[in-house]
Amino acid sequence: MNITIQDAIPEDVVENSEVFYRCWLDTYPNKEYGISKEDIEDFFKNGRTPEAIERKKKQIKNLPSNEKFINAKDGEKIIGVCRLIKNNDDGELKAIYVLSEYRGKGIGKMFWNEALKFFDKDKNIIVKVAVYNKKAIEFYRKLSFFDTGEVSIDEKFRMKNGAIIPETKMIIKVNNNFINL
C-alpha cells in the first residue's frame, strides 16, 4: 500500500461518489432503524447522474476557503474521502469514509491529522454520526471526541420508506488548548 492524502479535484468526483456509495452500503442499512440496502441504493440514484457529477465537479472547483475536501489514495485509486468545514463557531468534520477493505490501516487517522492542520486552533470540533454506527463512534472516541447525547433527525437523510438515519453529535472541546495526537 502506498497511501497518500490529497486535495480532491473535479476529476475525482466519479471515484469519490463511488466511495461514498460503497461506504453507505456497508454502513447504513440497519433493520432496527428500518433502513434497507434498497433504501441506500435509492438514496444515491440521483447523485450519480451525469448532471449530478457535473454539479459536484463545479462544487469542488469552487470550494469556499472555509471548506476542505480530501481523498486518500492507494496509488492512483481513491479509497477514502473526507470533508471538513470551518464554521463561525466550530470546526465540523462532515465525513470520513474509507472503503471497507482499507479500514483499520490508519487512513482515518491520516485524515484526522489533515483535519487538525485545517481547523482553527481555538474552536471546538464536532462530528455527527449515525447512532448505530458503533465502529465510527468508537473511532471518534479514540480521537478524544465525546458524545453530547444530542440526537438529531435531518430530513436530508430520509429514505424512500420514510425512515431517517438518526445522528448523535460528538464534540472535542479545545478550551484554547488545541489537541495534539
Q: Please, what is the angle between helix 13-27 and helix 37-44, to 10°?
A: 160
Q: Tens digit of pLDDT for each residue in 19-41?
A: 999 999 999 999 999 999 999 99
- Give burial (CB, 10 Å; 0-12/13-18/19+) of 136: middle
State pTM to two decimals.
0.91
Instruction: Find the helix or strand (DSSP H, E) in which 140 lies.
Output: helix 134-142
For residue 79, is pLDDT > 70?
Answer: yes
Show the cell assigned to 37: 440496502
CB 69 within 8 A of CB 83: yes
Which residues fall within 8 angstroms of residue 76, CB to CB, at 6 or more apart?
A: none
Task: Name which CATH class applies to 3-172.
Answer: alpha beta
**Mean pLDDT, residues 107-134:** 96
Sequence spans of domains, the chain: 3-172
Q: Please give the pLDDT value at position 178.
A: 47
For residue 179, is pLDDT > 80?
Answer: no
Q: Please give the pLDDT value at position 175.
A: 64
CB 113 within 8 A of CB 106: no
Where residue 181 falls among pLDDT bands split at 50, 70, 90?
Answer: very low
